[in-house]
Structures are given as C-alpha cells and as structure tokens.
C-alpha cells in the first residue's frame, strides 16, 4: 500500500514528464523550421517525401472518400425523404464533407497510412544509429531527414483532403442522382447556392493544413524521440497514431468553434 | 524508383489535388456563379426583421442581386438598420420597396426588392424609404383570433 505522498509524487512526476515532452516537441518544431533551408535548396528531398506520404496514400484516400460519399448519400436520402426535401441531398453531402469529414477523416487516414510510416522510418534510423552516423559526418539529421518528411506531409495533407472531399461529393452524386434518381440540376444548384467558397471551402482547407502540420510534427517527433529498441519503435508508432487521432479531433473542435459560430 | 518517375508521380499527385480543389471551388461552391461584382451599399430600416441574417440573400424578381452586409439596431428610432451590398450592375428606382419574405414555409428569410416607377435611381449609401417588415407568425395568429372575437361580438 503506497502512501498518499508517494501517489501524489507519482502523479506529479507523470505530469512533469508530459509537460517536458510537450516543451521538447515545441523546441523540436523550432529546430525543424530553423533547419528547413535544406528542404528548399534541395527540393528533391521534399519531393521524394511527398511521393511517399502523398502519392502512395492516393488510393486509400480516394477509395475511402468515395465510400464515405456513398454512405452519406444513402443515409442523407433516407432521412431527407421523411421531410420531402430530397433535393437538399447535394448540400447535405457537400457541406458535411467540405467542412468536417474531408479534413478529419483524411487526416486520420493520413496519420495511420503516412504518419506511422514516417515514425517507423525515423525510429529505425535512430535504432540502427544512422542518425548518429550522419551527425558524425557533419550532416545535420534534422535538416537532412526530419525537415523534408515534415514538409512533405504538410504539403500532401491539404491536397489529400481536397481529393477526399471531391471523391465524396462524386460518391453522393452517384448514389443520389444515378441510382436513386434525385434531380441532377437540383442536386448541383442547391449545393452551389448553399456552399460558400470563402466560408466553407477555404475554412476546410485551413483545417486540413493545420491537421497536416500536427500529424507530420507528431510523426517525426515520435520517431526522433523513440527508445532505440525494437519495442521502442513499435511503441512510438502506436503513440503516433493515437496522439495524431486525438490531436486531430481536439484541434477540429477548437477550429470549428472559431470558424463556424452558428451565426449564419 | 528513379528520380524521373518520382517527379512524374508527384506531379500527377499535385495536379489531382489542385484539380479536386478547383472542382470544390467551381462545381461544389459558388465561386463561379453568384460572385457579386463591384458592389455598392444600400440601407433599409425595418420595424421588425424577423429571422433575417447577415450574408442572407437580397433578391429582385427572384434573382439574387446582393447580400446582406450588416444588421444593427438604431436606439434612437427603435428600428433595425439593414445594410445590403448590391451588385453594381443593377440599379433600382428611388421608390423601390424592400420587403422581408420567407423562402418556402420554413426556409430562410431574404429581402425582396420590388421596384417602383421613379425615374431617378437609388445612389450608393442611400436609404430605401419604403419597407415592409417580416411577418411574425405569433402576431398574425393574434390578429386572427382578435378578428374572430370581434366578429363574434358583432353577431350578438
């Protein structure tokens, strides 16, 4: 039976540990930004990372976007039918995708598809002491390894989210117009009159951009910070996916409460 | 995987991403159609604006001609002052009536501009004189009951 003082001490220790890690992550971000020059002067490094985190995620993002759109089309039609306003299906599908589902689901998929890969790669480089070897050769591992992966993720994420939303709208159109028979003109015109470019689409893009920064930072940080053992790498990958998911959902709430205050 | 292939794939990826953004902006959003060009502002004062909201539509003959830019309360006259930004291509006579209508039974409320026959046009920042307030359902029902009661008394 531990004494209350010991319990409190353990709580305090855990808390200090968390805050220390948070501060370390912030300083890590500052270091990435400071050493980003190499990613600009040698864009080939960043392009390579866009290939690994962006191009290789194309399939999963477009297929999931299509299926989310199909489901939204079916469920939305089912509900709207009760109110006799099935023409509003377009605006329902488009707004839910552009504002929320596009950035959030694409972010979650991106974290599990690309974020985990980045963590594993950097973690394994650390375990096999490649990062140290680079340091020995006077190559800064943050500039050479971490920053390009960070920027690759930041650039790829908004594009993937836009693709997700677009595929979702096509999926909703496919179910609503082609299979069920909602009027094609009403579907698109209601959508266009209800979705504002500045208010809905730009805010969605800002969201996906913020999620891209968060996921990429978490992925490279967990990889760089992992215990240099096989178990440590696997733990770091798990932490990447869990922390990214939590960060995306929490940031989504914060951003939504600033962007859409329900005034309109 | 050599450099040229990676470059090609990243190029395709970026093109697809930008293509999706364009699709969202032009086909899903309203960037292409209802952008208002070089707008000017008009003002209107209402006794009651009902559920009118900022960014709501301003229509004339059912066509979107502007958006509501601002709504505030005038504490001196106890009136609602609605500022509209109207598309610069359209001009309205000075005796235009601004009325608040509801789209459908439960739809959003909008301002409808009913033009009169005056020869001089409204200038930017001018105030529309003739307005018609929103229909408040409770008032309408109250009036109806009042009329019914009055009828009943008349019969006696």
Alpha carbon of A55: minimum distance to chain B alpha carbons (Å): 6
Q: What are the pLDDT digits (tens) for A184-218?
A: 888 888 888 788 888 889 999 999 999 999 999 99
C-alpha distances (whole Å) from B130 to each of A78, A133, A142, A193 are 45, 81, 68, 29
Closest approach of chain A CAs to the CA of B91, in angstroms? 23
Q: Which position has the higher pLDDT, A161 or B114?
A: A161
What is the per-residue pLDDT across A1-18, written as a single tens digit (0 to 9) for each? 678 888 899 999 999 988
Question: What does each C-alpha distance from A154 to A31, A170, A261, B133 come to in angstroms?
Answer: 16, 25, 27, 50
If we measure between CA atoms, which residue out of A41, A109, A156 comes closest to residue B12?
Answer: A156
Dist CA B22 CA B143 (whole Å):
52
Q: What is the pLDDT of residue A181?
A: 84
Q: How far is CA A128 from each of CA A142, A148, A236, rounded to the nearest angstrom?
A: 16, 20, 15
Residue B109: enclosing H or E segment and its boundaries? strand B109-114
Contacts of B30 in chain A (CB under 8 A): 192-193, 195-197
Instruction: Round to whole Å and give the CA distance between A153 and A133.
Output: 25
Expressed in angstroms, the distance from the first to the final Cα of chain A is: 57
Question: Does the distance separating the beta carbons of A163 and B16 come in below 8 Å?
Answer: yes
Which of B13, B14, B52, B67 is the best mutation test for A, with the most CBs of A within 10 A? B13
Question: Using CA atoms, how far apart are residues A240 and A220, in angstroms rounded to an integer?
Answer: 9
Residue B102 has pLDDT above 90, yes or no: no
B34 pLDDT above the threshold of 60? no
> Which residues partner with B81 through β-bridges?
B45, B72
User: Taking the CB of residue B122, how many other CB atoms lie within 10 A of it?
Assistant: 22
Q: Is the dihedral of CA B124, B126, B130, B136 positive or negative?
A: positive
A261 CB within 8 Å of a chain B CB: no
Which residues touch A3 (CB under 8 Å, ≥6 apart)? none
For residue B19, give the chain A residue with the closest CA: A163
Whether the Cβ atoms of residue A68 and residue A168 lie closer than 8 Å to each other? yes
B136-147 per-position pLDDT tens digit: 778 888 888 888
Token pair listed for A71: 């489901």
Provide the strand spans (E) within chain A.
none
Q: What is the pLDDT of residue A264?
A: 47
Task: Decide: A118 and A53 in contact? Cβ < 8 Å.
Answer: yes
Looking at residue A29, what is its pLDDT?
92
What 3-state class would DSSP assign to B66?
strand
**What pLDDT is recorded for position B154?**
64
Interchain pair A44, B33: CB under 8 A: no
Interface ipTM above 0.85: no
* Nearest-CB residue to B13 (from A50, A192, A197): A50
pLDDT at position A256 is 92
Mean pLDDT confidence for B57-64: 85
Q: Check residue A26 and give its pLDDT.
A: 92
What are phi and psi for residue B41, nearest 5 degrees? -105, 145
Q: What is the pLDDT of residues A161-180, one digit of tens each?
A: 999 999 999 999 999 999 98
Q: In what order do the strands lie in the sheet with B57-60?
A: B127-128, B40-46, B79-86, B63-74, B57-60, B109-114, B97-102, B130-132
Best to test chain A binding among B19, B29, B63, B103 (most A CBs inside 10 Å): B29
How far apart are alpha carbons A53 and A207 in whole angstroms? 19
Q: pLDDT tens across A30-39, in order?
A: 999 998 888 8
Q: What is the DSSP string of B121-150?
A: BPPTT-EE-EEEPPPPHHHHHHHHHHHHHH
d(CA B107, CA B150): 33
Give, to the nearest 10 degrees, the angle between helix A4-34 and helix A203-225: 110
Structure tokens at A259: 């962007």
pLDDT tens-digit series, residues B62-97: 888 888 888 889 899 888 999 988 888 888 888 888
Is beta strand B127-128 parallel, antiparallel or unpaired with respect to B40-46? parallel
CB-CB under 8 Å, A195 with B28: yes
**End-to-end Cα separation, chain B, in angstroms:** 98
């Amino acid at each position: 039976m531990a004494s209350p003082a010991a319990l409190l001490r353990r709580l305090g220790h855990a808390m200090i540990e968390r805050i220390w890690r948070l501060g370390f992550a912030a300083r890590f971000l500052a270091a990435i930004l400071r050493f980003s020059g190499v990613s600009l002067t040698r864009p080939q490094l960043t392009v390579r990372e866009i290939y690994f985190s962006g191009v290789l995620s194309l399939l999963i993002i477009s297929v999931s976007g299509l299926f989310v759109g199909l489901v939204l089309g079916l469920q939305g039609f089912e509900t709207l039918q009760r109110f006799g306003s099935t023409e509003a299906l377009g605006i329902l599908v488009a707004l839910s995708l552009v504002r929320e589902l596009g950035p959030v689901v694409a972010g979650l998929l991106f974290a599990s598809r690309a974020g985990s890969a980045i963590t594993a790669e950097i973690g394994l480089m650390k375990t096999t002491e490649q990062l140290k070897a680079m340091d020995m050769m006077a190559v800064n591992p943050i500039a050479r390894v971490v920053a390009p992966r960070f920027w690759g993720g930041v650039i790829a994420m908004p594009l993937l989210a836009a693709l997700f939303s677009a595929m979702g709208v096509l999926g909703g159109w496919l179910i609503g117009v082609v299979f069920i028979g909602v009027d094609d003109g009403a579907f698109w015109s209601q959508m266009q009159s209800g979705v504002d470019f500045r208010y809905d689409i730009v805010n969605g893009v800002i969201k996906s951009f913020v999620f891209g920064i968060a996921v990429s930072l978490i992925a490279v940080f967990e990889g760089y910070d992992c215990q240099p053992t096989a178990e440590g790498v696997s733990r770091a990958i798990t932490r990447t996916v869990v922390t990214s998911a939590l960060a995306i959902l929490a940031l989504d709430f914060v951003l939504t409460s600033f962007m859409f205050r329900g005034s309109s | 995987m050599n450099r040229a292939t990676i470059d090609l794939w990243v190029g395709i990826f970026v093109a697809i991403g930008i293509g999706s953004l364009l699709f969202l902006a032009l086909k899903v959003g309203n960037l292409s159609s209802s952008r208002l060009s070089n707008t000017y502002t008009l003002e209107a004062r209402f006794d009651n604006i009902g559920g009118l909201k900022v960014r709501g539509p301003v229509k004339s003959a059912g066509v979107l001609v502007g958006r509501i830019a601002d709504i505030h309360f005038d504490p001196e006259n106890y009136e609602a002052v609605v500022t509209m930004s109207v598309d610069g291509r359209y001009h309205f006579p000075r005796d235009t009536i601004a009325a608040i209508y509801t789209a459908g039974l439960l739809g959003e409320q909008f301002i409808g501009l009913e033009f009169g026959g005056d020869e001089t046009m409204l200038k930017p920042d001018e105030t529309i004189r003739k307005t018609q307030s929103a229909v408040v359902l409770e008032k309408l029902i109250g009036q109806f009951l009042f009329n019914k009661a009055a009828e009943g008394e008349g019969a006696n």
